Amino acid sequence: MPVAGLPATTAAPALSREHLLLLYRWMVTIRAIDEKMLMMQRQGRIAFFGPSAGQEAAIVGSGSVARKGDWIFPALREGGILLMRGFPIARYFGQMFGNVLDTQKGRQMPMHFSSGEHKFVSLSSPIATQLPQAVGAAWASKIRREDVVTFGYIGDGGTSENDFHSAMNFAAVGKVPCLIICQNNQWAISVPFSSQTASDGVAIKAAAYGMPGIRVDGNDVLACYQATQAAFERARAGHGPTLIELVTYRRGGHSSSDDPTRYRDESKVPPWLLVDPISRFRDWLVAGRHLTDASDAAMRAEIKNTIDDAVKEAEPAATVAVDTLFTDVYGSPPATLLAQRAEVIGDGSGKAEGAFPL
């Protein structure tokens, strides 16, 4: 969908071979982590997990545009972007175990990755609430005249929430440097996109708020990259936000807790949506002589080893000290909290003196 202010092109972006292979490597890595986590969840080693299989082109194509200093406000399925920003994979798994490797000291649900150092804010479980936060952060960087673009992610289901509309309005009126990126994976748990809105997709909603909206083949990593890059340049140049709809398909369940065969029939999905974005990009790379069966196999083996090593490091890491229940909120804790702490921690031996079973 060509949009004023954004280039309409069908040509692949001119990226170096190294860059193309890096995009591919991250797509394969994210899928491999997905498969590992699903297995670990089924084995009872982690409690909960939200897969991103099928959405790797959307995640990598859009997220790879962000620079080190740009902020990411993710929804549920963009954790891979944190890894692309240099976050260690062992700490990523540490978040799933909620142990000492977790930046949040086990205080969040699994999948709520976060790192201030990597400018990646923990998703909020109530959907869409991260978008007004993203717009606010972008507004702050505009006031401070910083060269920062904020990436705010949302799912198709999230677009039915008030927060999506508040964020869109505020972003456009304030002309803030924010990208509002909707991964339209066709489902919000068991609610199909057709029940979510009567409009022709998500991107069209941008017009009512006064910003460009672009609808992209979200299973084409290069198209995702290109559209995001154009919107990014636009934001950086002071022309304000863009709504980007990445049309993709959630191949797995909503989370490890559901069974999609109970509510959807894959035979009714248009075949182009079911094309695996990884094999599609792989075929393109092979045709362009950037990749061979052998180099692909070597890359995959290396990725598997890296992930296995990360799990070996993360799984046995120590649990978070009980004392951390009382830290990081108050500079000077109130007497009531200190009393509770004394009751739980006791004399420092780690043994509880009070009624709290540890």
For residue 246, the surrounding DSSP H or E stretch is strand 242-247
Q: Closer CB to Mg ion, residue 263 or residue 356?
A: 263
Selected from 69, 126, 288, 354, the binder of ligand TPP by CB under 6 A is 126
Coil, helix or strand at residue 71:
strand
295 forms part of the interface with ligand TPP (CB under 6 A): no
CA 183 to chain centre: 10
Cβ closer to ligand TPP: 50 or 212? 50
Q: Work out whether 77 is an interface residue with ligand TPP (CB under 6 A).
A: yes
Q: List phi, psi (to 5°) of 343.
A: -65, -40
**Residue 212 found at the interface with ligand TPP (CB under 6 A):** no
Q: Which residue number, 69 or 126, has a Cβ lying nearer to ligand TPP?
A: 126
Binding mask 151-190 for Mg ion (x = CB under 5 A): ----xxx---------------------------x--x--
Catalytic pick among 234, 250, 251, 282: 250
Helix (H) or strand (E) segment spanning residue 213: strand 213-217
Q: What are the structure tokens assigned to 325, written together?
A: 């229940």
- Residue 251 near ligand TPP by CB under 6 A: no
Q: How far apart are CA 46 and CA 192, in angstroms?
A: 28
Does the footprint of ligand TPP cover residue 250 (CB under 6 A)?
yes
Q: Please tell me the count of residues contacting ligand TPP according to CB under 6 A.
A: 16
Name the residue among 51, 107, 105, 115 with its Cα closest to residue 83. Answer: 115
- Residue 69 to residue 91: CA distance in whole angstroms: 21
Q: What is the DSSP letter of 124?
A: P
For residue 239, indicate whether it is catalytic. no
Q: How far is the CB of 186 from Mg ion (least distance, A)?
A: 7
Closest CA to 11 of 259, 175, 220, 195: 220
Q: Which residue is nearest to Mg ion (CB)?
A: 155
Among 3, 188, 246, 307, binds ligand TPP (CB under 6 A): 188
DSSP 140-188: HHHHTT----EEEEEETGGGGSHHHHHHHHHHHHHT-SEEEEEEE-SEE
CA-closest candidate to residue 307, choices 2, 35, 6:
35
Which of 74, 79, 132, 158 lies at the binding interface for ligand TPP (CB under 6 A)? 158
Q: How far is the CB of 342 from ligand TPP (least distance, A)?
A: 36
127 binds ligand TPP (CB under 6 A): yes
Among 141, 185, 219, 242, binds ligand TPP (CB under 6 A): 185
Element (H, E) at 59: helix 56-63
Active site residue 250: yes
Cβ 294 to Mg ion, closest distance in Å? 37
- The one-letter code for the residue type at 340 is Q
Distance CA 291, CA 17 (A): 10
Q: Please give the full DSSP string across 248-287, using - where no structure is assigned.
A: ----S-SSTT--GGGT--GGGS-HHHHS-HHHHHHHHHHH
x-marked contacts with ligand TPP along 53-72 as a string, rule CB under 6 A? --------------------
| Catalytic position from the list 263, 264, 330, 341 | 263
Task: With contacts defined by CB under 6 A, name the span among 13-21, 169-177, 182-190, 324-332 that binds ligand TPP.
Answer: 182-190
Provide, rounded to whole angstroms, the least separation between the CB of residue 253 and ligand TPP: 10
Based on CB atoms, which residue is closest to Mg ion, 85 or 254? 254
254 is catalytic: yes
**Which one is catalytic: 254, 264, 280, 300?**
254
Kindly state whether residue 242 participates in binding Mg ion, applying the rule CB under 5 A: no
The answer to whether residues 72 and 151 touch, using CB atoms and an 8 Å cutoff, is: yes
Binding site for Mg ion (CB under 5 A): 155-157, 185, 188
The catalytic residues are: 250, 254, 263
